[in-house]
Amino acid sequence: MAVTPQAKAKLRLIISELKCYSPNHNVSEEIIDNGSVKTFAMCERLAIQGNAEAQSLLGHIYESGNGIEKDFNKAFYWHEKAAKQGYASAQASLGFMYALGRGVEENLAKAFYWHEKAARQGDASGQSALGTAFSTSGVVKKDLKEAFYWYEKSAEQGLSSSQLAIGNMYEYGKGVGQDFPLAFKWYKKAAEQGHAKAQTFISIMYGNGKGISKDKTQAFYWAEKVAIQGEVDAQSYLSNLYFLGIGTNKDTEKATYWLQKSNRGGSKEG
């Protein structure tokens, strides 16, 4: 049963906090590295003992099915255990499980309840979820200023999807005054983390000089980078750049190629 490096790192932190690991004694390190079955057993034992971090980690392991059989019911069980102890990450995860109906019947009101608890403790995913809730009409009244507030808090912690959302709100003046340079700033932050939509948007902004000085070379660079990932809008835009010779040599053959890929719904380059 394989456990991700991130999960292993998290388990080390849990063990350290429980005084079960020290730099001078590598027993716990060996348990983590010498076999994922032992890793899982250690995590499960800590969770049963009531450690909230271990419970949350166990929930993630069951939810992802990484090396074990995916089990949303067990994932929900452990996330709920940790959430009720006030563990913010588990509260956010529990909210998503309610929102998606995984391991429990879909309940958007309960999803909001747990996301709000996580958000108010500073959890970036919970804050992003509140931003989404307030940006649409649903379980709470639509309030774009409140949406911006929560997205910004999440974006400042580095969550790329929230950075994209903040960029969009600045670009179109939703819940905040329209500001193209700030829109570009937040799109760029998300783009540098590999967010495909954000990469498309900064390519377009470089191309039309919105929020940043025109830079045809950068427009082409970002368009090509994201088009290869299969992003339809970027493939269409890249086709246009090749057709007009913007940031690259004019090439009608490549323009046609990327336009056809875009029309087929996008696909990654092999």
pLDDT string in tens for the chain (270-residue length): 344 565 556 655 655 544 333 333 333 343 344 445 666 788 888 899 999 988 998 898 888 887 678 999 999 999 999 999 999 999 999 999 999 999 999 999 999 999 999 999 999 999 999 999 999 988 899 999 999 999 999 999 999 999 999 999 999 999 999 999 999 999 999 999 999 999 999 999 999 999 999 999 999 999 999 999 888 888 999 999 999 999 999 999 999 999 999 998 755 553
Residues 12 and 39 in one domain: yes
Q: Is the pTM of this model over 0.85?
A: no
Where is the domain boundary, 103, 135, 170?
A: 103
**3-state per-residue secondary structure call for 126-163:** HHHHHHHHHHCCCCCCCCHHHHHHHHHHHHHCCCHHHH
Residue 249: CATH number of its domain: 1.25.40.10
Kindly list the distances between the CA atom of residue 165 and the CA atoms of 148, 173, 199, 216, in Å, as whole numbers in the listed order: 8, 12, 13, 25
Q: Which long-range contacts (CB under 8 A, 24 or more apart) does 209-212 make?
A: 210/180, 210/183, 210/184, 211/171, 211/180, 211/181, 211/182, 211/183, 211/184, 211/185, 212/181, 212/184
Do residues 184 and 214 lie in contact, with contact meaning Cβ atoms separated by under 8 Å?
Answer: no
- The whole domain housing 78 covers 1-103
What pLDDT does 8 receive?
56
Written as six digits, the tokens of 241 are 């750049």
Q: What share of the chain is helix, strand, coil (3-state, %, to 5)?
A: 70, 0, 30
Q: Which two tokens stand for residue 149?
A: 């507030």
- Would residue 115 count as lying in a domain? no
Number of helical (H) and strand (E) elements in the chain, helices listed first: 15, 0
Question: Of 73, 103, 133, which residue is a domain's last?
Answer: 103
Round to whole Å and give the CA distance between 63 and 69.
9
Last residue of a domain, one of 193, 217, 236: 193
112 in a structural domain: no
Structural domain includes residue 159: yes
Q: Are residues 60 and 129 in the same domain?
A: no
Q: What is the pLDDT of residue 74?
A: 96
In a domain, 113, yes or no: no
Q: What is residue 27's predicted lDDT score, i.e. its pLDDT?
A: 30
